[in-house]
Amino acid sequence: MIGLAKSPHRLAIMGLLIVAASGGGWWWSQRQKAGELLVLQGNVEVRQVNLGFKVAGRIKQLFVDEGDSVVEGQTLASLDKVYFEESLAQVRAQREQSAANFAKMEAGNRPEEIAQIEALVAEREAIVTNDKVTLDRATQLLKTSTGTQKTYDDALAANRQAEAQLNSSRQALRLMKIGFRKEDIDAARGQLAERDALLQVTQRQLTDADLKAPSAGVVLSRVREAGAIVNVGETVYVLSLTTPVWVRTYVSEVDLGRISPGMDVEIKTDTPNVKPRKGRIGFISPTAEFTPKTVETRELRTALVYRVRVVAEDPDGVLRQGMPVTVTLLPTEDAGKIAGAAK
């Protein structure tokens, strides 16, 4: 009976010991894991761009070939520019014509033109005065029966015609002094602005006849040859972008809290005798996804992971696009210090 009474006590004590041992083992495993290096597997991202002209034309010259390294802004190819230069000359002439017309309307009529109309007004005033005298004489003669009705009618018609011409020239002088209508000046100004815009477009088309590298890289392929007629956007070169070098890797959900943007990493390749490259974490995806088949991790492939972009330093050009690499991060404590120092 005594052995049986003590048995539950012993079972309880053994249970507590087992729980304590399990808790200690879990704590020890977590402590060991916290001090381990976080190693991620990834690949150098394939970053390439298809280069083509922004305008259509005939390729006149190609300056680089497959495998050549290029720098940002370097001219890779050029089109035949004869048509672009002729269009530019035509648009410039039209622009100069519009500018002259606008300047004429804005300045108004010349003093010489106004003086010419004033002289015409004075001439017609003299004609009206003379015709008035003739009409008075014909009126007096008609009253005394010396003149005829026809003579009177002719003098009256001539007087009226002279007065109408005088009024017309006076109105022309008034308009000449006022100048052009505001609406006409605005129309001329708008036409000049249109020509300026067309001139800029034509100049840009001439500039776009040269194909320039958007970034530093290596020419992967040369698709077209000199003499070929190409349309807008048709691929002429395929350029592999080498700056900056991006490494794509994935981190599991349980290790997500151990990394942060700005942390320093070490990048190793499978090539022997190649020194590890330095890098830093530049981007961590805010959304989870399933582990890609091309990524090897210790977790199950169905586990959720987060995409990470690492910006690598590769001054020697060792890292090639698509190359598998190993990314090693420092332990959590040291990584936090580096992240703090980077800030």
User: In this prediction, what percent of the chain has a pLDDT beyond 70?
Assistant: 82
Q: Quote the mean pLDDT of the chain.
A: 81
What band does 17 get if pLDDT is binned at 50, 70 and 90? low
Q: What is the pLDDT of residue 114?
A: 80
Output the CA torsion sign for 12, 14, 17, 19: negative
Task: Please determine, for residue 3, whether its predicted confidence score (pLDDT) is greater than 60.
Answer: no
Q: How many Å apart are CA 302 and CA 294, to the nearest integer? A: 13
Averaged pLDDT, 229-246? 91
Residue with tokens 């399990």: 22
What band does 177 get if pLDDT is binned at 50, 70 and 90? confident
Most confident of 77-86, 120-129, 239-248: 77-86
Q: What is the pLDDT of residue 239?
A: 94
DSSP class of residue 261 equals: T
Q: What is the pLDDT of residue 28?
A: 40
What band does 154 get if pLDDT is binned at 50, 70 and 90? confident
Judge if the upstream peptide bond of residue 8 is cis by omega within 30 degrees of 0.
no
CA atoms within 13 A on the CB side of 25: 6
Output the CA torsion sign for 55, 60, 66, 67: negative
More confident residue, 164 or 24: 164
Least confident of 66-80, 118-132, 237-251, 296-310: 296-310
Q: How many Å apart are CA 256 and CA 260, to the nearest integer? A: 8
Q: Is beta strand 324-329 parallel, antiparallel or unpaired with respect to 264-269?
A: antiparallel
Q: How many Å apart are CA 10 and CA 14, to the nearest integer? A: 6
CB 310 within 8 A of CB 247: yes
Averaged pLDDT, 285-296? 68
Q: Which two tokens stand for residue 29?
A: 């495993």
Task: Please determine, for residue 302, whether its predicted confidence score (pLDDT) is greater than 70.
Answer: no
More confident residue, 157 or 273: 157
What band does 60 get if pLDDT is binned at 50, 70 and 90? very high
Q: What is the pLDDT of residue 297?
A: 52
Q: What is the dihedral of CA 184, 188, 189, 192, to 10 degrees?
A: 170
Residue with tokens 């034309």: 57
* Bridge partners (DSSP) listed for residue 267: 277, 327
Task: Please determine, for residue 8, whether its predicted confidence score (pLDDT) is greater than 90.
Answer: no
What band does 12 get if pLDDT is binned at 50, 70 and 90? low
Q: What is the pLDDT of residue 94?
A: 95
Averaged pLDDT, 89-105? 93
Q: What is the pLDDT of residue 45?
A: 85
More confident residue, 158 or 333: 158
Which architecture, in CATH terms, is 37-46+242-342?
Beta Barrel (2.40)
Q: What is the pLDDT of residue 336?
A: 45
Task: Please determine, for residue 320, whether its predicted confidence score (pLDDT) is greater than 90.
Answer: no
Taking alpha carbons only, the member of 325, 308, 293 closest to residue 252 is 308
Averaged pLDDT, 150-177? 86
Would you call 84 exposed, middle or buried from its count of C-beta atoms within 10 A (0-12, 13-18, 19+)? buried
CATH class as words, domain 48-81+208-241: mainly beta
Helix runs in 179-281, H state only? 182-207
Helix runs in the chain, H state only? 2-35, 82-107, 111-143, 149-178, 182-207, 332-342
The model's pLDDT over 186-218, given as tens digits with 9 standing for 90+, comes to 899 999 999 999 999 999 999 999 999 998 889
Residue with tokens 């108004």: 108
pTM above 0.85, yes or no: no
> How close are the terminal C-alpha atoms of the chain, in Å?
71
Q: What is the pLDDT of residue 6?
A: 47
Q: Which two tokens stand for residue 147?
A: 């003149």
DSSP class of residue 331 equals: P
